[in-house]
Structure 1
Amino acid sequence: MQIAIFVFAAGVWGGQYQTQLPSHAWLAVLSSILTIAGAVAFQWYKSGVVRANLFRALVLAIALGAGFAWSSWRAAWRLADELPRALEGRDVELTGVVAELPEAGEQGVRFVFHVEKASAAVPQRVLLSWYAAERGGAAGVVPSPHPGERWQFTVRLKRPHGLANPELFDYEAALLERGIRATGSVRPSPPPVRIDDFVVRPATLVHRLRDAIRARFLAALPGAEFAGVLVALAVGDQRAIPDEQWTVFRNTGVSHLISISGLHVSMVGLLVGWLAGKAWRRSQRRMLRLPAMKVAAATGLAAAAVYAVLAGMGIPTQRSLIMIAVVALALLGGRAPSGGIVLALALLCVLLFDPWAVLAAGFWLSFGAVAILMFLLGGRVRAAKGWRAAVASQLGITLAMIPGLVVLFNGFSLVSPLANALAIPLVSFVITPLTLLAIVLPLTGLLELAHWFFGLLMVFLEWLSALPFAMWTQAAPPGVLAVAAVAGVAWLMLPRGTPARAAGALAMLPMLAWVPDRPAYGAFRMVVLDVGQGTAVHVRTARHELIYDTGPAYRQGGDAGARVLVPYLGAAGVRRLDRLVVSHDDLDHSGGMASVLAGVEVGEVMANFAVPADAPPPRATRPCLAGDSWSWDGVEFRILHPDERELGKTSDNDASCVLRVAAPGGSVLLAGDIERGAEQRLVAQASGSLASTVVVVPHHGSRSSSGDAFVSGVAPRAAIHSAGYLNQFHHPHPAVLQRWSEGGATNWRTDEQGAILVDAGAHGVEIASWRDLARRYWYGR
């Protein structure tokens, strides 16, 4: 049965990586075939027509098909609840209930809204943003809806859409897993109306309780540095933890302790079960009626379930709760299931409930860590005990998780064993119990004590995180190297006496030593990243790296530098930028500049404004002025605009730094936000240098740019428009798209196609979009 469940999981995983879902008719045929095949195989086995080995093979084949069919059916049903394209960007009136914990930000709040009634056909679950400036009341007041409240809003919705870039987080997949089928914003007019203070439902009761606990914790620790961590340990809401602390947690490998993990749920169940069993044993009469073991199992399961529900039922929490339930029910029934059965049943239950779980990193890390622990601690003739067992387990998990961490996060912490040696006992047995006790007993002193202990831990973690060798980072490896590394780890984990066991380490070396191939001499690659309404471009030559613009700062918080550029550069294996060129000081081009300077070593900044005060100072700076040029690896870089005399005399847009990159196989023009005036000057002064194979269209395709003379002067084969999906400026303008098309260019759009990849080599120029290269069935749905 265990193998069949794992094969079923493989089928679910395969179903989630389809580029297009099968038709309902095809799925119905497949489901019918699987059902008939299962019934026939079972009947043949009972009657002795087939042998056991053949029967097992048939069961595995059916399990694989069943997993594929199940994930496909669930996907088809969920995608059927979609927003019609005709309603995107239109005002719609909704009445419904705030369904989950709202996420407060500096400028507004985001929350899941369960739609009960609407003026048009909309999905049942939508994610709404309600900004302070749009509240309709006092300016600057951040709205504060609470779970369970019924509201009437006028909103503008759009289909689920996220930034699509190589190797980065898939926001659309995350929305699909949560059942959110549209996103949008609350409109100020007509003003929102709260209809009911609280709608009593099981889910709203839970989320209102979580909201109350979060509010009480934050009020008890006003301005406390680690209050967000205690909230995360209590109710699973990690959004109050600042990015700086997450960086420390990642660098030291303790992120799994900050979320409510399976370890915490198991600890609560075991502790409550142990206390209940101990109390039950005090009465001989009670013991005769019901064994203390069964009482402990039932109470432990109940406590774990309450904590898991309070925590929001994330994947690690689900896995741990299901495993506890299997063990508890087995003990209540007088059975003792093996660890493999428990893990397999937990896997099956998670995938039946949530087949999209296989898309989440937490799924692989959670089940992988437990499987590794079972393998390390089970079936050994001379198993280690006490502290030796703890040390061996921690080192074994650290080593075994390396391939997964490299594939999922492009690196792993080298100081993780040392950090976890202190963090695991302190968080699990001191900080978390104090935090949970503070939920039941509203004593501020408990939270202050937990906060003090965590502050002590952070001193140690920050010291470890600052070590220059704290993190191993590398480019995302090919799948074949990752598979070889997993096989090597498995061989290393075999018992002592296994022939050539140490050779398993050699199988990991190709993955750890792998670096992505680079352009040849005289060639370059360019990626116009999908950063929303803004611009960010990466140019790579044989030995050099350049970034042109750093994308926008986002209204909901954060910026493209932290969310897109730094993670992308890590996945691409870029540890140092030779030059950062920022065209001008508008937030849609320079919004991520501080984050890039903080996250990546930068050799030189080229810009016509001061580096942000909150950014680490670069090694060198220089102005971006016409006539400046340099050559890297047979590729020519030349600044065409602005002239020094124009600085301060034109608008910020028209003072944009215009960069042309040229190689024997093709050229690219990066035009910033220049408008008609600057375009005309360029055509007059640098007409011989304008012609380019590819142009990143000025000002995101605004109709104030891309004049006829400029389009004719550039005469590109491809025009790339970097713009946000359904942006408020309606970029790119249809007239601009038509103008470039009539000029002989193929239009490419980041809002519809994701990141645009340009490869200029000896063969000429090749262009592709990330949404086409890595297509998934949910894109555009």
Structure 2
Amino acid sequence: MIIGTLLALVAVLALVLQPAPLSMVTVSFITLPLLSAGWYWRRWRSVLWLPALMLISANAHFHWRTSLKLPEQWSQAPVQLQGVIASVPEQFERGQRFFFDVEKVNQQTLSWSQQFRLRLSHYAPEVQLHAGQRWQFQAKLKSAHGTLNFHGFDYERWLFAHHVVGSGYVQLEHSKWLAENPWSLNRWRETLSSKLSAMQFSHQGLIEGITIGLDEAIPPSRWDVYRDTGTIHLVVISGMHLTLVAMLIGLVVGRCWRFSARLCLWLPAPRVALIAGFVGALFYAGIAGFSIATVRSLWMLLVVVAALLLHKRLALFDIVALAVLAMLLVDPCAVLESGFWLSFTAVVVLLALARGRLHRQRWWWQAITLQLALSLAMLPLTVWQFGSASLISPLSNLLAVPWVSFVSTPLALLGMLLLSFSETLAWPFLALANLSLQWFDLAMDLFMQLPQARWQPALHNPWMWLLPALTVVLWLMPWTPWRRLTALLLLPFALLLWRTPIPPSTLQVFDVGQGTALAIHSGEHLLVYDTGPRSEKFDSGTQVVAPHLRALGFTGIDLLMVSHADLDHAGGLPGLLQQMPVRQVLLGEAIEGIAAEPCRAGQRFQLGEIQVEVLYPFASEQGNAASCVVRAKLNGMSILLTGDISRREEARLLARNIDLSADILLVPHHGSNGSSSAKFLAAVSPKLSIISAGYRNAHRHPRPEVLERLSAVGGQTLNTAGQGALRIELSDGQYRIEAARNTPRIWRSRVEPPGGL
């Protein structure tokens, strides 16, 4: 069964990485020989049938999922929707954001297979929406789409895994409340959150995170601490929390059941304990909103409970295999979630360690060995998934796991349950939980003082993690001399691959939505121009630019230039300065709290092979007129970076007879019609024009008139809204383009906005 499960997992993974679901002919061509061979060779039936049946099931699921696409006309005009608010609304400064399950569109009722989920926002803080309410909304919609870079978070994959087909915003003046559902599970979670918020505990976000699965109240700065200490799994509901609750409830109910001999004769106490534990875990998963992490653990618990109740003796690894199969059968999209791989891998590692290495050791040494081995075993997978790993996680988890699991979580859970009935009864338990979480945070802050808390290696070669992962697998296998010897031989090769190679001379244009951020690097030298936008939940400096540069092997920036102070260009600056050291900062316009030199025409810099010349501004300016215009030369190629200059600034440059010719042009002001005059474009005469703009942005950039003028001067035009991030390698007067969206995936939309390839 284990081999068959692994092959089924590989089949689903291979399928989800395809550009589209397979045709029925292709699926039949693959699966019929496997099914026939399994019928003939019964001994190999599970090995042959499991991947075949899983391929059929997953492919049908993906056909259904990809059919749920928003028609193009729905993006052109407001659409009338009717449905239910399917999540606890997330509060932000200008309103609320929530999942909405659509049942009717433009008064037309959808069948069950046609119903879909949207992620909607409304920008009226004075109007409070609640989970479970039924509304008729008028909304502006767009298909599921997100920024896409070569490293970092894939928003479209996250939407697909959560069954979201589009997003939009609600026009409440044209909307209508239809019905209330105070008995919905999400409404109960929202009520608990509101009551807890009224108590004003300092660690409300953590209490909500480990009890009802709401973590929006945890500040971004604390998420950084939990990530760098490797304790994120403790502050959100995970399989460990669910298993702990099941064990505690089963233990208490089983002990109480034994007090009655009649009840024990009717149903043995061990069976009652098993059923009660699973029901308790099911209830806990419910108040957590049936998140993907809790559903995974529920399946594993269900397999264990069913096997014990039916007196079936299953090996531990068979239990894990059945849980994986159940999860893939119900939701094949689970393979897109990092938690799926991390949780099941952690369980397998723990089982492998428990089988052969820990039973002869003292309990305290077992705990240390287990935590250290688990952290090392998970290291390749963690870096592969997130691009970084915590080097202090073995030490921090040794303290944090028992504290949060056996002190904070039980107190918080008991307090939240009592909160449903009485705030007075709940307050002492919640106060103690809050105090315990304060001590937890204090300990994590102390761990953060240790050097090298977070490790982010360069990720040039994706195969560099193959040998470390294989080393871990061989180390976990039952002991034999050749396996251990092989693992030792693999380590030098793994260390050799971890050496940071020098990246080629490249222009990196990041996809930051409606904004600008790019980098030019050659050898060990790095120039960054603009840092992208910042909002309440998104900081391009910390979430896009810094992770990408560290993935390339850079630990610092030689020259950071910010064209002007607009938020879509300078929003990520503070975060980037916190993440990476910068030798020199130049600003086209002064920014409060940032120590920097002004950007002025005539400045020149030599960064290895990169020649940088500032062409504008000539004097101090404000707003878009202050934009720092820069020409960079590298490997026989010239790049003109223009910020948000308008036709007036373009005319000033032309009036001074400045040489503006360039091979690559960053189109001014994201393609606004107030820029990119015909004379300016003729003077630049670019071979390649790059537009950095957001998908279906409110300004409708780039404007058709600008695209016509770009077409008139010839050359190629690219738009990050359609191609995602761009990687342009520069060599001997030639360039080679790689776009992030050039790798099609089943979850990824392929859009063709103006200025596309």
Shared fold per TM-score greater than 0.5 = yes
Instruction: Give, in angstroms, the shift of residue 383 of structure 1.
Output: 3.6
CA distance in 1, matches of 2:448, 2:488: 26
Q: Which residue of 227, 246, 254 corresponds with 1:250?
A: 227
Write the letter of the residue equivalent to 1:391. I
What's the counterpart of residue 573 of structure 1? 553
After superposition, where does 1:574-593 map in structure 2 within 5 Å? Answer: 574-593=554-573
Contact 1:115 1:124 in 2 (8 A): yes
In the alignment, structure 1 residue 304 sits paired with structure 2 residue 281: yes
The offset of 1:177, in angstroms, is 1.5
Bigger drift between 35-44 and 383-392 goes to 35-44
**Contact 2:34–2:52 (8 Å) recurs in 1:** no
Q: Residues 637 and 733 of structure 2 are in contact (CA less than 8 Å); yes or no, is this contact kept in structure 1?
A: no
**Alpha carbons of 1:226 and 1:476: their partners in 2 closer, same or farther (altered >3 Å)?**
farther
Q: Which residue of 2 aligns with 1:400?
A: 377
Gaps of 5+ in 2: 420-425, 752-757
1:668-687, aligned counterparts within 5 Å? 668-687=639-658
In 2, are the aligned partners of 1:494 and 1:501 still within 8 Å (CA)?
no
Give the AA of the match of 1:83: L
Separation in 1, partners of 2:392, 2:232: 13
The correspondence of residues 146-185 of structure 1 with structure 2, limited to 5 A, is: 146-185=130-169
Tell me the CA shift for residue 287 of structure 1: 2.4
Give distance in 1, aligned partners of 2:102 and 2:358.
Answer: 58
Taking structure 1 as reference, are residues 294 and 124 closer, same or farther at Cα in structure 2, changes over 3 Å only? Answer: same
Shift of 1:695: 0.4
- Please name the residue that 2:629 is paired with: 658
- Three-state SS of the structure 2 residue aligned to 1:475 is coil
2:225 maps to 1:210? no
- What is the rounded CA distance, in whole Å, between the counterparts of 1:658 and 1:60 in structure 2? 62
Match of 1:694 in 2: 664
Distance in 1, matches of 2:429 and 2:187, equals 22
1:83 to 70, 95, 108: 70
Q: Which amino acid in structure 2 is aligned with residue 673 of structure 1?
A: D
Aligned in 2, Cα 1:775/1:509: closer, same or farther, shift over 3 Å? farther
> Which aligned pairs between 1:393-542 and structure 2 lie closer than 5 A?
393-442=370-419, 443-476=426-459, 478-494=461-477, 498-499=481-482, 501=484, 504=487, 507-508=490-491, 514=498, 517-519=501-503, 524-542=505-523
Structure 1 distance, partners of 2:480, 2:37, is: 41
Distance in 2 of aligned mates of 1:120 and 1:718? 47
Cα distance change of structure 1 residues 2 and 573 upon mapping to structure 2, 3 Å threshold: same
Call closer, same or farther: CA 1:671–1:349 in 2, change over 3 Å: same
Task: For 1:2, give the aligned amino acid.
Answer: I
Deviations 1:648-683 (Å, cap 9, x if unpaired)?
3xx521220011111233111110000101111112
Query: C-alpha displacement at 1:611, in angstroms?
Result: 4.2
Q: Is the 8 A contact 1:474 1:515 kept in 2?
A: no
Question: How has the CA–CA distance of structure 1 residues 381 and 115 changed in structure 2, closer, same or farther, with 3 Å as cutoff?
Answer: closer
CA distance in 1: counterparts of 2:368 and 2:634, whole angstroms: 55
Q: 1:18, CA displacement in angstroms?
A: 0.8
2:524 alignment partner AA = R
More moved, 509-518 vs 285-294: 509-518
Q: Could you say which residue in structure 2 is the equivalent of 1:625? A: 600
Q: Is the 8 A contact 2:555 2:580 kept in 1?
A: yes
**CA shift for structure 1 position 37:** 3.8
Alignment of 1:102-121 (within 5 A): 102-119=89-106
Mapped partners of 2:38, 2:232: distance in 1 = 46
Deviation at residue 756 of structure 1 after TM alignment:
1.6
- Residue equivalent to 1:15: 15
Corresponding residue number in structure 2 for 1:559: 539
CA distance in 1, matches of 2:745, 2:302: 38
From 261, 264, 286, the equivalent of 2:241 is: 264
Which of 699, 702, 709 is residue 729 of structure 1 equivalent to? 699
Overall identity of the aligned pairs, in %:
35
Q: What is the rounded CA distance, in whole Å, between the counterparts of 2:360 and 2:730 in structure 1?
A: 58
Q: In structure 2, how many angstroms separate the alpha carbons of the residues matched to 1:706 and 1:681? A: 13
For 2:81, what is the secondary structure of its paired residue? strand
Change (3 A) 1:15 1:500: closer
Q: Sort the Cα spacing of 1:199 and 1:90 in 2 relative to 1 into closer, same or farther, 3 A.
A: farther
Contact kept in structure 2, 1:270 and 1:300, CA below 8 Å: yes
Q: Secondary structure at the match of 1:86?
A: helix
Matched, 1:706 2:681: no
Q: Paired residue for 1:138?
A: none
Shift in alpha-carbon separation, 1:685–1:126, aligned structure 2, 3 A: farther
Q: Which amino acid aligns with 2:632?
A: V
The alpha-carbon deviation at position 90 of structure 1 amounts to 1.4
| Structure 2 residue matching 1:376: 3-state secondary structure | helix
Q: TM-score, normalised by structure 1?
A: 0.90
1:79-98 CA-partner distances (Å, limit 9, x unpaired): 11111112214111222211
SS at the partner of 2:554?
Answer: coil
User: Match for 1:227: what amino acid?
Assistant: Q
| Cα distance in 2 between the residues matched to 1:120 and 1:195 | 14
- Deviation string 1:330-370 (CA, Å, 9 cap, x unpaired) is 11112232111110011011111111111111111100000
| In structure 2, C-alpha distance between the alignment counterparts of 1:352 and 1:392, rounded to whole Å | 35
**1:283 Cα shift?**
2.5
Q: How far is the alpha carbon of 1:62 from its aligned partner?
A: 4.7
Give the Cα separation in 2 of the matches to 1:624 and 1:172: 37
Deviations 1:379-436 (A, max 9, x none): 4595435222222211110110010111112221121111111111110001000011
The Cα shift of 1:289 comes to 2.9
Q: 1:124 aligns with which of 111, 115, 126?
A: 115
Tell me the CA shift for residue 225 of structure 1: 3.3
Partner Cα distance (1:303, 1:661) in 2? 63
Give the Å deviation of 1:324. 1.3
Asked if 1 retains the 8 angstrom alpha-carbon contact of 2:157 and 2:747, the reply is no
Counterpart of 1:151, as a letter, is: W
Moved more, 767-776 or 655-664: 767-776
Q: Is 1:635 aligned with 2:610? A: yes
Taking the aligned partners of 1:573 and 1:199, their CA distance within structure 2 comes to 53
Match of 2:423 in 1: none
The 1-side partners of 2:179 and 2:635 are apart by 68
Paired residues, number: 740
Indicate whether 1:749 and 2:740 are aligned: no
3-state SS of 1:181 partner = strand
* SS of alignment partner, residue 196 of structure 2: helix
Where does structure 1 lack aligned partners over 5 or more consecutive residues?
47-51, 136-140
1:349-364 aligned at under 5 Å gives the runs 349-364=326-341
Q: CA deviation at 1:374?
A: 0.3
Gap change, CA 1:719 and 1:107, over 3 Å in 2: same
**Corresponding residue number in structure 2 for 1:41:** 37
Which residue does the alignment assign to 2:732? 762
Does the aligned pair in 2 maintain the 1:37–1:62 contact within 8 Å?
A: no
Alignment CA distance shift 1:318-1:652 (3 Å): same
Shift of 1:468: 2.4
TM-score relative to the length of structure 2: 0.93
Deviation at 1:505, TM superposition (A): 5.6
Whether the 8 Å contact between 1:538 and 1:547 is mirrored in structure 2 is yes
- Separation (CA, whole Å) in 2 of partners of 1:195 and 1:430: 43
- How far the C-alpha of 1:745 sits from its partner, in A, is 1.8
Q: Distance in 2 between matches of 1:215 and 1:240?
A: 12
Matched residue, 1:606: 586
Shift of the 105–381 alpha-carbon distance from structure 1 to 2, 3 Å rule, reads closer
Distance 1:612 1:429, change over 3 A: farther
Amino acid at match of 1:447: L
Contact 1:492 1:503 in 2 (8 A): no
1:694 shift after superposition: 0.6
How far off its partner does 1:543 sit? 1.4
CA distance 1:38–1:770, change in 2 (3 Å):
closer
